[in-house]
Amino acid sequence: MARQADSGGGPHITNTAVDCTADYLIQIGILKGDLNVTLRVEPPPPDDDAPLATAERRLARSLLHRWRAEADAWDMTDPEPLPVRWTPSRRVASAGEYMPAGSGTDTIAGAFLMLRPRRRLVVLGSAGSGKTVLSVLLTLELLARRLTQGEDDVPIPLVLSLESWDTRRQSLTEWLVDRLRQDHPGLPPVDGVHPARRLVDDRRVLPVLDGLDELPPHRRAEVLDALNAGLGSEADAVLVSRTAEYGHLDQEGKGLRHATVIESLPLRPADVANYLRRAQPPARTAAWSRLLETLQKEPSAPVSWALTSPLMVWLVRRSYEQHPADPRELVDRKRFPTRAAVEAHLLDRIVPAAFPPRPPDPGRLHPPRAWDAERADAWLAYLALLLSRREESELAWWRLYAAPLPRLLALPALLATGILLSLVIKAGMSGYAESAPLGDLSVTTAVTGGIIFAAIARSVTASWFGQRLTEPRRSANPLLFIHALRSLDRHARVGPLVRLATLAGGPALIVLLLSLYVFVTPNPVLVWFSVGGVLPVLLMIVYAAPADTVDAATPDELLRGERSALVTTLTMVAPLIGAGVGAFFGLSGGSWGWGAAVGAWAGASATLVLLSPWSRWILAKCSLAATGRVPWSLMAFLKDARAAGLLQLSGGTYRFRNHRIQERLAERYAQERGTASPSSEPPPVPALADSRDFTVEHTADHYRLRGRSRRLSLAHWAVLGPLMAVFVVRFSVTGQWQDPASWLVLVFWPFIGTVITVTGFLMPRRRLELELTRDGVTSVIGRRQRSYEWRHVERITVRRAVIRGRDAPFYALQVRLLAGARRPPRRSRLGEGWYFVLPLGSSSSVDPQLAAALADFAGVRWTSPSVDR
């Protein structure tokens, strides 16, 4: 401030602001004269990470919103976080850095961030023990620290399921980048592109990986190897798994390297009581008081033991949150004398709890649709009954046709569909029939030719892949022929010489036949055989290969692959068959070759569609849905049941998240329908040692089981079944159903099969022996003897027999040999490294005396079938 002489001594005011960020400048005082304001704002240094930081905040907010909705759906944080506990795992050898036992969300997040020099954590636990709750609460706390507390060094947890990672095609980095781009496409760009690559390369995201136990056993080791390679020496990760599955991998040296391993602990009854007390409204205090008092004062009561599982706590809260449900009934020891009785009662309420009547929060990752709880309970119970009766745990959509109703309707549905197709073909080819020399017989001949050539192509393909055409086929791009050809070896059941001769000699044979037609003899049969016979077979083998059902990401992808394979065969294989038939008649001097081509294409298309896994799936779904056993939108329902926590993925199949849920649903469904429960049915054959036809010699160093058994020949039905199906297609599609005498021929194939079965049953009983010693196991079936030394055996157990790539209707004692052991003859091989020892019957149950002998002589190699399953 200075006085100016020419202005009467008034002040001259000058304001200078440097690096000012204010929006307004206020001058207080009496001003006389001029007012000059000068702003000198120097631009800040460029911040290259500002767009990336914006993308991080956007990603963290989105994930926090989603996982809060997920936690609210499972009551994990209302009114406070579930009091889950953990402890350093003592069942895993490579436990890594020590992490103290504790409980609560902030504790686990703080302990995780204190891990040095790398943050790698493995969370283990049994089914329903709270390991998933721990991982979700850890995710929420890390996101809250990042957003509300401004801790920029906290990584953004990205929860992913390992089932979507194809380790053979993508590295860990590429998979994380791909998932970020797919799941969060709206993130602001960095340098004009999606920030996924920068976020992963700069290690701004923390992969929280779940679902290791849901993978097939052989894929778990592959995934952990790829995970260790992708993380390197410094990257961080969180892995969630069941204890048994991860412990087995850790014993083999396949665990997550440099990881701290913790295990979830059962909840304390007193902590559960405090949690439930705060969760209830004041009006329901009296109704809950008796139960809460029991939890606090009687920790050994059945209900107190049952509520040590977060799953059961959630079920109690959901089942009794509203009037008139009375939680005091759980304290009644006469009604619920054991922990199992309490859990069974709560499991009966799991489906209504998983599908509440109110609509789900739209902010959830994958919110299930609002299904009717009562109907959903009946649908899942029926599916559980099917699995329990077959003693299986994997629910595959392509196996639903094996249910009683679809199998009963298979032949009528095939006939009805074929008759409708015959009417369509007859109407569409009426003009051709009028101009053809033989009239309607020409149509029948052309259609029959297409059916026969399609059946031949299908039969050769079935033999090539070991009769696995009942399984879904992979999706093959017709334009990527070489790629489809390379993946062919993984599924073939023929030897390498046969593969080489077929794939190399097939095209050579086609060229030879066409050359003979052009240069030697113009015989139309050569064109017919090459174009309509050999070439369709080769393309059928390449494009109709079975899919990797255990390696598939989801069942939906398998279904899409089957539909794609069906479309490929209809657009490539069937037209070639039609072209071959049309070329034969056209080159023979007839002017009606095009009509024969259309007829043959129609017959081939009908055969390929009606005998495909897709048609079986449609028949099973429609028949079961029409009778109320499953919903019409079955795949959507199964996906929602998984999102609700009732199912989990196992490769390309579903299975119940807990085997006890499956058993309880199946038992209740059987009781309500008045049928025998699967668990109560006595095993028909397996008690071999107790049978009057068998004798047992048992000493300290020797166990011998001797007897004779009648044969029940069923293997021929695997051949007669497809033949009968092809005959029914030809009988109906070609219009032979209009001839009453032709209906008598339908009983020919069933009659032949029945005669073979009865003849085999009436044959003299065959000799069966099983001998166990300290050196090995020997079996005798008829005149064939098989021997395996214990030093060459890795495992011995009871599994369903697999014959020519298909599940047989009986169980057998089987062994898996160590690497380097001499392989038995081919007739003993059952696939997946297992070898045949002795058939046991239609149940996997084992006589206790035989099981005790196997445990004694085989030692740790013996695995009970219930444990193996």
pLDDT confidence of residue 68: 81
Please compute Rg for the chain using Cα positions.
35
**819-836 mean pLDDT:** 77
pLDDT confidence of residue 380: 93
553: closest CA among 87, 284, 219, 111? 219
Cα–Cα separations (whole angstroms), residue 230 to 124, 200, 428: 22, 11, 59
For residue 164, the one-letter residue type is S
pLDDT confidence of residue 617: 93
Average pLDDT in the chain: 80
223 dihedral zone (left: phi>0; alpha: psi -120 to 50; beta): alpha
738: closest CA among 370, 301, 426, 409? 426
Copy the structure tokens of residue 574: 């069937």
pLDDT confidence of residue 687: 41
**758-773 mean pLDDT:** 83
Copy the structure tokens of residue 170: 């993508």
Cα–Cα distance for residue pair 124/130, rounded to 1 Å:
9
Q: Which residue ranges make up each domain of the chain?
A: 2-40, 52-265, 269-354, 405-619, 681-710+765-869
For residue 529, the one-letter residue type is F
pLDDT at 383 over 90: yes
In contact, 571 and 424? CB cutoff 8 Å: no
Cα–Cα distance for residue pair 366/70, rounded to 1 Å:
9
Residue that has been written with the tokens 């699995």 in this structure: 387
Cα–Cα separations (whole angstroms), residue 281 to 40, 284, 414: 61, 6, 59
In the chain, the N- to C-terminal Cα span, in Å, equals 92
pLDDT confidence bin for 590, thresholds 50/70/90: low
Write down how long the chain is: 869
More reliable by pLDDT, 224 or 716: 224
Can you name the residues that pair with 88 across neighbouring β-strands? 262
36: closest CA among 10, 15, 6? 15
The fold for domain 52-265 equals: Rossmann fold (3.40.50)
**562-571 mean pLDDT:** 89
Cα–Cα separations (whole angstroms), residue 732 to 422, 451, 660: 7, 11, 46
**576-599 mean pLDDT:** 79
In contact, 732 and 421? CB cutoff 8 Å: yes
Q: What are phi and psi of 58, to 5 degrees?
A: -65, -45
Cα–Cα distance for residue pair 380/279, rounded to 1 Å:
30
**714-735 mean pLDDT:** 81
Give the pairing type, strands 834-841 and 829-831.
antiparallel
- Tell me the per-residue pLDDT of 39-67, one tens digit each, with 9 for 90 and over: 554 454 445 567 888 888 888 888 888 77
pLDDT at 438 over 70: no
Residue that has been written with the tokens 């609210």 in this structure: 72
How many CB atoms sit inside 10 A of residue 333's CB? Answer: 14
pLDDT confidence of residue 238: 92
Cα–Cα distance for residue pair 404/622, rounded to 1 Å:
14
pLDDT confidence of residue 1: 45
CA 273 to chain CA mean position, Å? 37
Summary count for the chain: helices (H), strands (E): 30, 21
pTM, rounded to two decimals: 0.70
Cα–Cα distance for residue pair 590/436, rounded to 1 Å:
9
**817-834 mean pLDDT:** 77
Cα–Cα distance for residue pair 451/444, rounded to 1 Å:
10
Cα–Cα distance for residue pair 383/662, rounded to 1 Å:
9
CATH code that applies to domain 681-710+765-869: 2.30.29
pLDDT confidence of residue 614: 92
SS3 645: coil
pLDDT confidence of residue 17: 52
